[in-house]
Amino acid sequence: MIIRRTRLRVAQPKSAFAEGNARWTNLDLDPVPHHRRKWGALSFVAYWISDAFNSATWQFASSIIAVGLSWRESLAIVAISFFIISFVIAANGAVGAIYHIPFPVIARASWGFWGSYVAIISRVILAIFWFAIQNVNGGNAVRCMIGAIWPSFLTLKNDIPEDQGITTAGMVGYLIFFIVQFPFLCIHPNKVRWLFIAKSIIVPIAWLAILVWAFVAEGGGAMFNQKPTVSGSKYSWLFLANMTSVLGNYATLSVNQSDFSRYSRVSPKWQLLYIPMLPIVFTFISFIGIAASSAGQARYGGDIPWDPIVLISHWTSRACRFFAAFSFALASLGVNISANSISAANDLTALAPQYINLRRGQIICAMLSWCLVPWKILASAGSFLNFMSAYAIFLGPIGAIMLWDFWLVKQRKYDTLALYQPSNPTYRYSAWGINWRALAAFLVGVAPNLPVWVAVGVCRHEYRLYRSVALVPGAGELD
């Protein structure tokens, strides 16, 4: 059966932006009209609380403490890092809140129409990769939930080869999480904000309960008495390396904030709320992870249970195991949408707006995630996980170029209509549709870090600028 291409095309309503211009836009890439701007201040607060409460943030401090710093330094690193990146997030978010356009369209202003593909492709690769990894985290939480109801499930006969890095029980959990998550991928970002609001209420309550348990059960454990095991120049290098690692892990979200702020119905000044909020929220969650893991080691012995699912699995109360695991499954679901699927969908839509919209883009992202075989990556390819974590070196220059272009070069003024007209000389820059200055700046920013990026795939080095913090299997989030 031959499927006609016209049947696959996305509907193109008449507008000043989309009419006769299907190569560069569709309804989901057009500026958001006034009646579709549904996100208020509460929605953005819930969005970031939702994104912050995830397994990666829980384990941020683990890799920092593991290299020889104390819990105090680890929390200081998280706080300083998110204070710095909050300015980037707020500044990029303000652009979306002012012009109500997504990241791929904003990128045209600084990169040119064809040059913007450098930024778009760089981001979509990372978004799909972390979507796949986060599915494994969610699947592990579902496996723990099922095991709390039917303990025999955890001893289910394994028919999957050991070298695949997943058991039959793990695959069942992964598949259930994927199926439950799938309908949420079909919901428009304007409506999915209710998921973030629900998660921002349910998950913090559950994690606060875990924090209370940590101090009631073991007084927080012995880790709070731990001193740094390094000093001098090594201490300074480790502090800097870990700080830039935390920054690198949120490079994607610092770039894609406009994908959500474009739906704002409040003043762009509300984006400034992130500057005090993000350091406080992320530092507090890292503190919960330290306290709970330390208490877990004191009570159950053995290695420190940095992975929250491992910690929960030790609990004797099946009800507590179920609801705690549910909170982590919900955390994975929320962050997979807020940080990964919608970002990938916007990028895929920009690559082929005639055939892809946000809904199709999220579905394509979900299907491609299977091709990455993420459970095997987590189980047997730690160096590749570090390699992809360090991939953020590409997004740092991209975000800097876009910030510099809007706030300084263009003096906070964009011609919105010209961003959808490739024939308009305003953002064409050259006959090739590429801003060569942006490309040169990008190469200058990336080139010094390329040897480091390649090295991450084969070895670890304490002085590496973008060393991954995702040292614990399942800790990685992004995007």
Q: Tell me the mean pLDDT in the region 354-360.
A: 93
- Report the CATH number that the domain containing residue 212 is assigned in CATH: 1.10.4160.10
Neighbours of 36 (CB within 10 A): 14
Q: Could you write out the three-class secondary structure of the chain?
A: CCCCHHHHCCCCCCCCCCCCCCCCCCCCCCCCCHHHCCECHHHHHHHHHHHHCCHHHHCHHHHHHHCCCCHHHHHHHHHHHHHHHHHHHHHHHHHHHHHCCCHHHHHHHHHCCCCHHHHHHHHHHHHHHHHHHHHHHHHHHHHHHHHHHCHHHHHCCCCCCHHHCCCHHHHHHHHHHHHHHHHHHCCCHHHHHHHHHHHHHHHHHHHHHHHHHHHHHHCCCHHHHCCCCCCHHHHHHHHHHHHHHHHHHCHHHHHHCHHHHCCECCCHHHHHHHHHHHHHHHHHHHHHHHHHHHHHHHHHCCCCCCCHHHHHHCCCCHHHHHHHHHHHHHHHHHHHHHHHHHHHHHHHHHHCCCCCCHHHHHHHHHHHHHHCCHHHHHHHCHHHHHHHHHHHHCHHHHHHHHHHHHHHHCCCCCCCHHHHCCCCCCCCCCCCCCCHHHHHHHHHHHHHHHHHHHHHCCCCCCCCCCCCCCCCCCCCCCC
Local confidence band at 453 (pLDDT 50, 70, 90 cut-offs): low
pLDDT in tens, 464-476: 333 333 333 333 4
pLDDT in tens, 66-77: 778 888 899 999
Q: What percent of the chain has pLDDT over 70?
A: 87
pLDDT, position 348? 96
**pLDDT value at 378 more than 90:** no
Q: Which residues contact 99 (CB under 8 A, 6 or more apart)?
A: 31, 106, 262, 414, 416
- Mean pLDDT over each residue of the chain, to the nearest integer: 86
pLDDT, position 410? 93
Local confidence band at 13 (pLDDT 50, 70, 90 cut-offs): low
Q: Tell me the mean pLDDT in the region 30-46.
A: 93
pLDDT in tens, 171-187: 999 999 999 999 999 99
pLDDT, position 1? 47
pLDDT, position 202? 94
Is 9 within a domain? no
Is 26 within a domain? no
Q: Tell me the mean pLDDT in the region 156-163.
A: 88
Owning domain of residue 152? 37-456
Q: Tell me the mean pLDDT in the region 218-242.
A: 80
Is 380 within a domain? yes
**Residue 450 or residue 420, greater confidence:** 420
The tally of domains found in the chain comes to 1
Q: Tell me the mean pLDDT in the region 327-346.
A: 93
Is 330 within a domain? yes
pLDDT, position 464? 38
pLDDT, position 382? 53
Is 222 within a domain? yes
Local confidence band at 40 (pLDDT 50, 70, 90 cut-offs): very high
Is 423 within a domain? yes
Is 346 within a domain? yes
Q: Tell me the mean pLDDT in the region 125-132.
A: 91
Local confidence band at 273 (pLDDT 50, 70, 90 cut-offs): very high
pLDDT, position 207? 94
Structure tokens at 271: 């984006």
Q: Tell me the mean pLDDT in the region 225-240.
A: 84
Local confidence band at 389 (pLDDT 50, 70, 90 cut-offs): low
pLDDT, position 468? 37
pLDDT in tens, 235-268: 888 888 888 878 877 877 888 899 999 999 999 9
pLDDT, position 118? 94
pLDDT in tens, 284-327: 999 998 888 888 888 888 777 788 999 999 999 999 999 999 99
Is 156 within a domain? yes
pTM recorded for the entire structure: 0.88
